């Protein structure tokens, strides 16, 4: 992944879209997304509906942009972890210090497209 894309992802909030069991879209805002080994790592602090959706359908979409409207659409497959390496990673993030850190969503990126 290009350093420019990683920087935009890690320095801005993202729109994170899943689909529920009735095929209705569900979009939330997420902050503190990290890029690790070419995957996106998102902390589950308060995402009950999103986690249910990922367990039902792992396809996800994200959009991120900066204050200059430079941004990217990211399509991927999400997995959820409540223990192990990724869970330990989100629990250790300084941004999550006072948050519940229930688990880690790991997005295996399938496609990145520039917005616009």
Residue ranges in the chain modelled with pLDDT below 70? none
Query: CA triplet 88, 54, 76: central angle to 5 degrees?
Result: 85
What pLDDT is recorded for position 101? 85
Any idea where the domains of the chain sit in the sequence? 3-114
Please give the class, per CATH, of domain 3-114.
Answer: mainly beta
Contact 26, 50 (CB under 8 A): yes
What pLDDT is recorded for position 103? 95
Dist. CA 107–CA 18, nearest whole Å? 12
Q: For the purposes of burial, counting CB atoms within 10 Å of the CB of 38, is it exposed (0-12), middle (13-18) or buried (19 or more)?
A: exposed
């Amino acid at each position: 992944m290009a350093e420019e894309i990683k920087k935009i992802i890690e320095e801005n909030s993202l729109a994170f879209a899943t689909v529920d069991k009735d095929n209705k879209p569900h979009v939330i805002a997420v902050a503190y997304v990290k890029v690790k080994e070419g995957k996106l790592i998102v902390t589950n602090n308060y995402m009950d509906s999103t986690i249910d959706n990922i367990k039902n359908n792992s396809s996800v979409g994200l959009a991120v942009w900066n204050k200059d409207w430079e941004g990217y659409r990211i399509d991927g497959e999400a997995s959820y972890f409540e223990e192990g390496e990724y869970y330990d990673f989100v629990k250790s993030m300084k941004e999550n210090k006072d948050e519940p850190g229930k688990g880690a969503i790991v997005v295996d990126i399938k496609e990145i497209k520039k917005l616009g």
